[in-house]
Chains A and B, each alone.
Chain A
Amino acid sequence: MADLHLTQVRKCFGNVDIIKGIDLAIRHGEFIVFVGPSGCGKSTLLRMIAGLEEISSGEITIGGRVVNDLPPKERSIAMVFQSYALFPHMTVRDNIAFGLTIAGEPRKEIDAKVADAARILKLDALLDRKPSQLSGGQRQRVAIGRAIVRNPDVFLFDEPLSNLDAALRVNTRAEIAKLHRDLGATMIYVTHDQVEAMTLADRIAVLDGGVVRQFGAPMDLYRYPDNLFVAGFIGSPKMNFIPVKALSVSADTITLNAEGLDALTVAAKGAEILPGTALTLGIRPEHITISHGATPRHQGSVVLLERLGHQIFIEVATLGGHSVTALIDGEEEVELGHTVGLTYDASKCHLFDKNADSLRL
């Protein structure tokens, strides 16, 4: 069983804290995605798990074994690099077999394992080619092949799709998901692309500034973000944030003034909120509709309009001076410059306090 536990893991470069005490418990067979903006420390954290980066303090265990001071080869991990890191002077076969050759496995077994990996990854016909003779997608598959032949407890992927074009990325993403289902191994995957994170992960760890902002199932992060950062990072297009004030509060509701229009009552922890407190209302663009005669929550003119086919993406400059984006039905008749009314269900609203924490019940 390859459970992976990180306990108060820190990394400092001089006086700068890159990873600021991370705790994560990853179960055997889980597909975990580390996601976050550039510089959030996600790749550093992955490299610390791999043993390519020393940890400044804390503890990492793989399968119950503390691996802090073990070199990469003794951690039972395999890693797929962003650059693929294929050895240019070796054939595909030798690249895939590299780890097994180093381990001194018998030639027969190596050949069998390489053939098996090549079959799974559809590389059979390419085994005698050099990496320079392969396309980006094929190189990526060789890098994955090099990882799977070693049968590690934990697979580590460092932004493996970022060098591929959009179409290939979708295909390879599906292949990695299938690989995870077939192998049932623990996989940790680093990306800055939240679509990859949402589609691949059993659980996502959203990192920012060296800390985990939230760790949970993709739809939990989407539906119940713990803070403004996660709310803004997960979901595309990005969630709208509108500054509001609490008009009245109860233990489990907060009534807001939304731009001076109709008061909006949202289910939220109101116990510690005083009337008049400034809060942030979050609403996802896909939860906003055109009001069509009903009392709109916001009104304004359309300043940006992108027709996506089944949906239209609009940006509305509201009378309250905010910018609200919405993903509305593709059949709606809106034009650039039109004044439109926007509405949404209070149950879809998120409320955040002045510390950017969610007031979800």
Chain B
Amino acid sequence: MTTKSERLLLLIVALVVVAFVLAPLFLMFATALKPDENQILRDLGNAHAFWINPSDISFKNFEAVLANKTFPILRYMLNSGIIVVSIVTIGIFVNSLAAFALARMQFTGRNLVIAFIVALIIIPMESVAIPLLLMMSAIGWVDTYKAQIIPFIAHPFSIFLFYQFFAAIPKDLDEAAYVAGASKLRTYWTIIMPLSLPTIATVAILQSLEYWNAYLWPLMVTRGSDARPVSLALAQFFSTPPPVWGNLMAFSVLMSLPILIVYFAFQRWFIQSTIGSGIKG
């Protein structure tokens, strides 16, 4: 049993942490909704930066960002959407199928393959970026969606997550399906995958987040706006003088919205899964 003062202390600590996490978001939303750039500059030096009077709310900055021809944000968001949706949807099938094979089929070297996949999780993207870029350049994929999708479909951490989850599903279920006449692939599709919704949600959220926010790789493989994702566009928009804070924050809000929607859509399963798998959410 914790005492009242201990609970109070925990509450204060939790509030401080939450404040640190939420403060930038408040700043972003408040600034984006303020119409007057001079007012924004004045507020940035004090606590008003985190707040806006409801009567002052304006969508002027959003209109400006959406109308900006030099930085066509909708185009960039479409690019990001195509890249992320492709990676996530194709990735869910590819990675879960790989995990299904590892969890359910006996073959020589299976444990070695699992160990190899786990080892791949710790290799950072940065360390393979140059060889990968040379590869992309050699096959003429620079400045295309393909260069931003194909290399990232196979995802060791997702395979590992699926593998862990599948290994915990009783094999009796597969065997009951086989006896009833189902093939391995049918069993995967009709039995295993519907039971894996929490893991699918976790993989979808983690991968969406990773590739929506990707910066280094798109910077290396894109040149124009044709295939450039919104994360890179934001950085360019930010570094284009003079900085218009209201527009910058409106751009940031627009960029953040899809990922927030994805998170809230899958939140219930995501939390279930992270609790179940012991992975930090």
Contact = CB atoms under 8 A, between A and B. Distances in A.
A323 interface: no
Contacts of A82: 172
B170 interface: yes
A291 B205 CA distance: 80
A50 interface: yes
Contacts of B181: 72-73, 99, 102-103, 150
B194 interface: yes
A81 B172 contact: yes
Interface stretch (A85-93, A180-188, A251-259, A339-347): A85-93
A79 B178 CA distance: 10
A308 to B, nearest CB: 37
B179 A102 contact: no
Interface residues of B, number: 15
A241 interface: no
Contacts of B178: 51-52, 71-73
A89 B177 contact: no
> Chain A contact residues: over half helix, strand or loop, or mixed?
loop
Interface residues of A, number: 23
A102 B195 contact: no
B173 interface: yes
A98 interface: yes
Nearest to B175: A52
B16 interface: no
B172 A98 contact: no
B275 interface: no
Contact of A88 (B177, B180, B195): B195
A77 B179 contact: yes
A103 B182 CA distance: 8
Interface string A152-180: 00000000000000000000000000000
B179 A98 contact: no
B201 to A, nearest CB: 15
A72 B175 CA distance: 9
A148 to B, nearest CB: 12
A180 B281 CA distance: 52
B172 A146 contact: no
A83 interface: yes
B194 A73 contact: no
Q: Which of B181, B182, B186 has the most CB of A within 10 A?
A: B181
29 contacts: A50-B175, A50-B179, A51-B178, A51-B179, A52-B175, A71-B178, A72-B179, A73-B180, A73-B181, A77-B179, A79-B176, A81-B172, A81-B175, A81-B176, A82-B172, A85-B176, A86-B176, A87-B173, A87-B177, A87-B191, A88-B195, A98-B177, A98-B182, A99-B180, A102-B180, A102-B182, A103-B181, A150-B180, A150-B181
Interface of B: 170, 172-173, 175-182, 186, 191, 194-195
Given A72-B181, A150-B180, 4 more contacts: A50-B179, A72-B179, A73-B182, A146-B180
Interface of A: 50-52, 71-73, 77-79, 81-83, 85-89, 98-99, 102-103, 146, 150
